A and B are shown apart, each in its own frame.
Chain A
Amino acid sequence: MHDLIALTPLGAHKPRSDHHGGVSLIEITDVALASVAARLGREADAAALVAKITGIEAPAAARASDCAFWMGPDQWMIEASFETQEDLAQQLAAQVNGAASVTEQTDAWCRFDLKGDRLADVFERLCNADLKRFTGGEAVRTAIEHLGCFLICRSPGHVSVIGPRSSAGSLHHALLTAMKSAL
């Protein structure tokens, strides 16, 4: 076991949490991510593999399941517990059998979860996704204050924003500012 201490994307030892106007904004750091992209001609096999790993059908375009979301044509992001599956990418790579390319993505991203009743009011100040129509299971990639982000709707009152890790500070600032502005 190595002895290096991790920093959060915001540069601290503990994830940050903020609360305003009935919405909570929580930095999530305990999720491992790996992308799975189908090899040419193996698209169905790759989708089947995602289904096998996650226990549910591979998400369709712009959709998310409990632990996977669609990134692009024939490409998915798998989510797992960091604590037990920090080596997610290696684990997956061992299973793909030439059907897919796997890439570690855990630390490419920062993630902030917003929970509350009035998320649509917050997100309409941030991006063009129409949160009023979200019912859960949507996975939209769009820009928030110039940053390319995934919006994963876990349920109508729970949205994950997954954005570029190096800009975690700017993204967090944008999210918190919008919360204070809208709520």
Chain B
Amino acid sequence: MTQKNRLQGGLIDRGQSYTFRFDGKKMTGHAGDTLASALLANGVRLMGRSFKYHRPRGPLTAGSEEPNAIVELREGARQEPNTRATTAELFDGLVAKSQNRWPSLAFDALSVNDRLSSFFAAGFYYKTFMWPAAFWEKLYEPMIRRAAGLGSLSLQNDPDSYDKGFLHCDLLITGAGPSGLAAALTAGESGLQVILADEDFVIGGRLNAETFSLGDSLGSDWAAQTVARLRSMPNVRVMPRTTVLGAFDHGIYGAVERVSDHLAVPEADKPRQILWRIYSKRSLLTAGALERPIAFENNDRPGIMLASAMRAYANRWAATPAQRVAIFTNNDDGHRTAADLHAKGVKIAAVIDTRPGQPISIDYEILHGEIIDTAGRLGLRRITVRLASGETREIECGALGVSGGWNPNVSLTCHQRSRPAWDENIAAFIPGGDLPSGMTVAGAARGVFSTHGALTDGAEAAARIAADLGQTATKPELPKAEDAPIQITPFWHVKDAKRAWVDQQNDVTAKDVKLAHQENFVSVEHLKRYTTLGMATDQGKTSNMAGLAIMAEIAGKSIPEVGTTMYRPPYTPAAMGVLAGRSRGKDFRPVRKTPSHVWAEEQGAVFVEVGNWLRAQWFPRKGETTWRESVDREVLQTRKSVGICDVTTLGKIDVQGTDAAAFLNRIYCNGFAKLAVGRTRYGLMLREDGIAMDDGTAARLADDHFVVTTTTANAVSVYRHMEFVRQCLFPDMDVQLISTTEAWAQFSVAGPNARKLLQKVVDAEFDISNEGFPFMACGEITVCGGLRARLFRISFSGELAYEIAVPTRYGDALIRRLMREGQEFDVVAYGTEALGVMRIEKGHAAGNELNGTTTALNLGMGRMVSQAKDSIGTVLSRREGLNDADALKLVGFKPVDPSKKVPAGAHLMTIGDPVNAAHDQGYVTSACYSPNLGHHIAIGYLKSGDQRLGEVVRLISPLTGFDHEVEVVSAHFVDPEGERLRA
């Protein structure tokens, strides 16, 4: 296809031709084109179908406010739905598809919706699909989803990467049109750290779309020269292709930089986009203004667009939607489009102005009247004009430029709840009070529409900001520019139209607005939600104003009385990927590896995620076909001889100071003041509300030095809690805290031969005999010929056990040494599964039991809560509700039929009672197969459980289909007297 609607001039690079495809059709464009400009140049006006009625649509705008020309860009895994053709930069090989049509854009089966439009008016969801309820999920919703106009996802993983980043500046300038550029020059020269961000790939804003000059040069040339000057300043960062998406608290802005969207594929290792978090001392919004359309009958034909967009396509992109065009305007700006297109050789069929008394042009006809209808289903052919005289005229044209005036682009001013204010002089909303902290608005964004005004306003605003930040601003010399006053007579819609489109993206007509009012949705917020006006991805940038005006007219109110809705972040839609950044897939969160990780990998260990930690779950050996075989072996061998497990993941907190013991007395519910040096004690921490928070041990290495352990999961929150107690509750305790979790590699060595094995590595001068180092002893020792180490005689498995710690870098060497020295005992390494089995066999509580709802009493540790001291949680653990006579107690369960499982999560019922929540007796928290006992076992909570040993209860798990009987037993299945651990 030839570029039959390509004009002369423009800012495209004709030396660089790109081939692209739209709906399979091959076309050519140039570097500097957008997809929309290239399509128009190729004679394509029809680019999409509307959301609800499947109306054929072409581009309305030439920018990111576009409601209509929404396409699926690219193919395969990179396919991106709902992309605006008006901002998509053309590149060689670009492939785009129109969406929301079937089977083709020109013939769309679902355009039948358009004929049925009377059923789909405002609120149709609420009215039509109410009954019967069951039909909603099965029939209506799928039907609506199929019909509604969203693009399709590739359903493949996004092959691109996205960065997140952080920028700091004195001044963030959003929008690089005349006012933004003038502001950047001023602020840059005054020495401020400046970021100038603009969503476009060419800096300059409207300067690139207009023909008037700035001083001696063309506006676009001045913009290019200014950008070059700004780039030469080390304190100014010019960021094209960067959309400021949101204004957040305290001068923080979010922005997306499209690093690679103009390339077929990002360069190697480079991100597709970057989400920047910008910290600014001040910000200046110079986002310009957006032209607004006028609503009239069939105003949505492909070829009907905003006059400013038509002018931009002609001047910047040398493209016209048709060779014969008309203009419909209520202000002077529309006439500029006619003049510019005429100068480019496009035939102007007529300019229709709603205002009387416009000067006559020698080049084309200027009419006083309004457009009452249009024709051309897949592209505009003809408009019907009703002249002021009452006469009707039909005018042939392939495109129509519409100008209803300009709205300051106030989106970002609203992000912190500021409401725009009405300005009668320009018949538009301007930024209101209470702007986001640090924000100033300048230029067209606050209603200063002339180029001269914008330049001056931007420079002056920047100078004030510089002065405010303590810099002397030297105002740069600004070029002379047009300074035309605004001449507008508000005109929102042509009366008595049947289907005059107000919001083209959500298919809302003037009639829908009237209907909403008729049905008493008179608040502007209700109007929005009932009609969906302004709720599409463009947030109604081109449509809200007309909707409000029509509402005001019907209600007999002024526009400011009706009020306006607000804009929210993001300014334009953002890809999910850029919000995730690098945090996806295996990089979703950081991985923590244990000191024995390399060794465990060599052993073929199976790993499990515990928080961020990767822990060995079990160590399969040759010939073992199920995980149970491995785990059973690890458990049996540990209980029979000796096993080793990496327990580094438990939190370790170094507690020092003369008040260290007193401090532990506060945070643990049991007593610590009298713990002897060289001894370790189990400690239970309560939350202040009396619920168990965490448990662990505290080892007293010196009078003023403890090492506290926490569970793996709670290491961070316990440390935070301890700092709270130290800093906020007892600020004058002499206690210092620091985490040492990662500093020490710690291994549990458990089993009857644990001591014998350790004696082979612990240096001879340290006596670790049962007498010299009894149960719950601790001490600083050396191993393997002088390496500093710590030894704790504590046991989670119930066996004779130690935990030995060495500096982390030696952890790998130590486990290799222990495994080698342990060969004579057939030592095994065991993973978290075997660890879990052994602690359940021993009846030790863990995270499943300390689940945020249970108390010391429930855990069977009620008497541990010392009433003789004021520790965290003691008082509220005395609450009546936590001390019911039939409180839950931790007990064990074994199946009456030894072949049955006892699943965790199952609930317990008294035999004969109805099975319902009211008769619930408790629940199973942890369960496993005990290789020592040869059947499944479990622990859990049962009402008055400690009084019910021997009773048979019913175990119910309706979800998994379990319903059988279990016997209530002691939670200590193995060695209830604790003889082994003291051996």
Contacts and interface: CB of A to CB of B under 8 A. Distances in A.
Interface of A: 1-9, 11, 29, 35, 37-41, 75, 87, 90, 101, 103-109, 124-130, 132-133, 145-147, 164-171, 173-174, 177-178, 180-181
A11 B593 contact: yes
Contact of B807 (A1, A90, A107, A145): A107
Contacts of A130: 168, 279
A3 B784 CA distance: 7
Contacts, number: 151
B357 interface: no
Contacts of B164: 125
Contacts of B595: 7
A37 B656 contact: yes
B826 interface: no
B-side interface size class:
35 or more
A39 B735 CA distance: 7
A166 B593 contact: yes
17 contacts: A2-B783, A3-B785, A9-B809, A35-B738, A40-B733, A87-B788, A101-B654, A101-B736, A105-B738, A105-B743, A124-B166, A128-B277, A130-B279, A146-B590, A166-B742, A169-B591, A178-B163
A145 B809 CA distance: 24
B810 interface: yes
B743 A166 contact: no
B587 interface: yes
B591 A145 contact: no
A177 B269 CA distance: 8
Interface stretch (B417-425, B811-819, B849-857, B892-900): B811-819
Contacts of B271: 181
A2 B785 contact: yes
A35 B740 CA distance: 11
Interface in B178-217: 193
Given A4-B817, A170-B591, A165 B742 contact: yes
Interface in B775-817: 782-788, 806-814, 817
Interface of B: 161, 163-168, 193, 269-271, 274, 277, 279, 582-583, 587, 589-595, 597-598, 612-613, 648, 654, 656-659, 704-705, 732-736, 738-745, 782-788, 806-814, 817
B729 to A, nearest CB: 15
Contacts of A178: 163
A107 B742 contact: yes
Contacts of B705: 101
A166 B656 contact: no
Contacts of B591: 167, 169-170
> What's the dominant secondary structure at chain B's contact region?
mixed
Contacts of A132: 168, 193
B587 A125 contact: no
A165 B787 CA distance: 20
B163 A125 contact: yes
B808 A107 contact: yes
Contacts of B592: 164, 166-167
Given A108-B739, A181-B163, A40 B734 contact: yes
Given A7-B812, A128-B166, A164-B592, A2 B787 contact: yes
Contacts of B165: 124-126
Given A3-B784, A37-B656, A171 B590 contact: yes
A13 to B, nearest CB: 10
A139 B784 CA distance: 37
A4 B818 CA distance: 11
Contacts of B739: 108
Nearest to A32: B807
A106 B807 contact: yes
Contact of B166 (A40, A127, A164, A174): A127
A104 B812 CA distance: 19
Given A5-B813, A180-B269, 15 more contacts: A2-B810, A4-B813, A6-B810, A6-B813, A8-B809, A103-B654, A103-B738, A104-B743, A106-B807, A108-B741, A108-B742, A128-B277, A166-B648, A181-B161, A181-B270
A125 B545 CA distance: 40
A7 to B, nearest CB: 5
A127 B589 CA distance: 15
A9 B806 CA distance: 15
Contact of B740 (A37, A104, A126, A167): A104
B403 to A, nearest CB: 42
B167 A124 contact: yes
Contacts of B648: 166
Contacts of B744: 107
A105 B788 CA distance: 14
Contacts of B745: 107
Contacts of B741: 108
B613 to A, nearest CB: 7
A105 B598 contact: no
A107 B785 contact: no
A2 B739 CA distance: 26
Closest 7 CB pairs of A and B: A101-B656, A40-B734, A107-B808, A170-B590, A4-B813, A108-B743, A6-B809
B742 A11 contact: no
Contacts of B270: 181
Nearest to B812: A7
A180 B613 CA distance: 27
A80 to B, nearest CB: 15
A138 to B, nearest CB: 14
A3 B728 CA distance: 46
A173 B164 CA distance: 15
Contacts of A106: 743, 807, 809
A105 B807 CA distance: 9
A75 B736 contact: yes
Contacts of B808: 107-108, 165
B738 A174 contact: no
A128 B582 CA distance: 16
A107 B787 contact: no
B168 A109 contact: no
A164 B166 CA distance: 22
A162 to B, nearest CB: 12
A109 B595 CA distance: 13
A40 B657 contact: yes
A66 B809 CA distance: 25
Nearest to A109: B742
A149 to B, nearest CB: 11
A129 B817 CA distance: 43
A164 B742 contact: yes
Contacts of A107: 742-745, 807-809
A7 B809 contact: yes
Contacts of A3: 784-785
A58 to B, nearest CB: 16
Nearest to B737: A37
A155 B164 CA distance: 25
| Residue with the greatest number of chain B CB neighbours at <10 A, chosen from A1, A7, A146, A165 | A7
A161 B704 CA distance: 32
B871 to A, nearest CB: 21
Contacts of A173: 587
Nearest to B613: A166
A4 B744 CA distance: 15
Nearest to A35: B738
A104 B810 CA distance: 15
Nearest to A5: B813
A169 B813 contact: no
B174 to A, nearest CB: 19
B785 A39 contact: no
B205 to A, nearest CB: 26
B537 to A, nearest CB: 28
Nearest to B763: A2
Contact of B787 (A4, A35, A174): A4
